[in-house]
Amino acid sequence: MAHTAPRDRPTAAVTDLRKATITDLLADVAARLATSLDHSTIVRKRRTLGIATDRNTWVRIEARPHATATAQGQTNNGIETSALLHGIAKPRWHQAVSWLDDTTDTLWRADECDLVTGPAATPIGYPLTEPTLTPHWWTTLNTSLDNLARQSITRRATPDTQPITQALVTDTIEGVFPGALETTIDDTRAWVPAHADLVWSNLTAPDCQILDWEDLGLAPRGLDAATLWTNSLMIPALADRVFGERQADLETRSGKLMALFTCCKDLTSPGFATAPAYAPTTAHATRLIAELTH
């Protein structure tokens, strides 16, 4: 039987789930997945919700404007694609439901995965204190990233919901350093599977699990290492550790371009010019330009 849109969804496009009324949405998701949701566990983000079920699983609910999905050219989600991966420390994917809400022109999706009880290595944002990570933790991360890069997928990575292309890389770097260098990644072998949102809040500790696989897809080699390195720049020792662990990726030309790309993404983010990370990010971006042009 077809489900109708929940009664308390707004008639305008859903732009921020932190502010939206979600009572009927959660009831709808529970019915579609045939489970009960624990409302005391809900985690709200701008475009996603997370909530535990009564069967020891976790549900991630995403709202995506239909126009965004159309622009991406792929309606499938990286979380589902991640079920095909092996040899990676991540929650197991169980099932998903998706539907189009015509009243808001929003594409909704709910993915059910294993419940991970371990905390994030650091909260959302730039870590301000260095997390305590064991050698085993780093081994697990490195093994997972190495295994990921060896696998075969066709989905294109979507960091920050944007499909990563040569044009996106070039435009992002040119937006900060116009005409400074050649940004073409002309070796097709340099495009490998990537998580595409490998920040500290998507890693757990003391046991290493990699969370939130919705952006999984093909990307230039080094994107994941560069993303985690850039997210570490407020703590130089942590950034140095990430670089040392993923040096094989970050010292390639594509790895350096990805480090520059992630720096430039931050440098062009609204309000970033007043953030504490602005100075180290600018300094490293300038250094990368020098390395890539000499």
The DSSP line for 14-30 is P--TTTS--HHHHHHHH
Domain boundary assignment for the chain? 23-114, 135-292
| Tokens 């965004």 -> residue | 68
Question: Cα separations (Å) of 13 from 63, 81, 143?
Answer: 10, 27, 41
Would you say domain 23-114 falls under CATH 2.60.120? no
The verdict on whether omega for the bond into residue 206 sits within 30 degrees of 0, i.e. cis, is: yes
Start-to-end CA distance of the chain, whole Å, equals: 64
pLDDT in tens, the chain (294 residues): 444 444 454 445 566 898 888 999 999 999 999 999 999 999 998 889 999 999 999 999 999 888 777 776 665 678 999 999 999 999 999 999 999 998 888 889 999 999 999 889 988 778 889 999 999 999 999 999 999 999 999 999 999 988 999 999 999 999 999 999 999 998 878 999 999 999 999 999 999 999 999 999 999 999 999 999 999 999 999 999 999 999 999 999 999 999 999 999 999 999 999 999 999 999 999 999 999 998
Helical pair 236-245 and 135-149, crossing angle rounded to 10 deg: 50
Show the beta-strand stretches assigned E in the chain: 37-44, 48-53, 57-65, 93-101, 106-114, 191-194, 217-220
- CATH class as words, domain 135-292: alpha beta
Distance of alpha carbon 34 from alpha carbon 179, whole angstroms? 55
Handedness of CA 108, 79, 266, 181 (dihedral sign): negative
* Domains 23-114 and 135-292 belong to one CATH topology: no
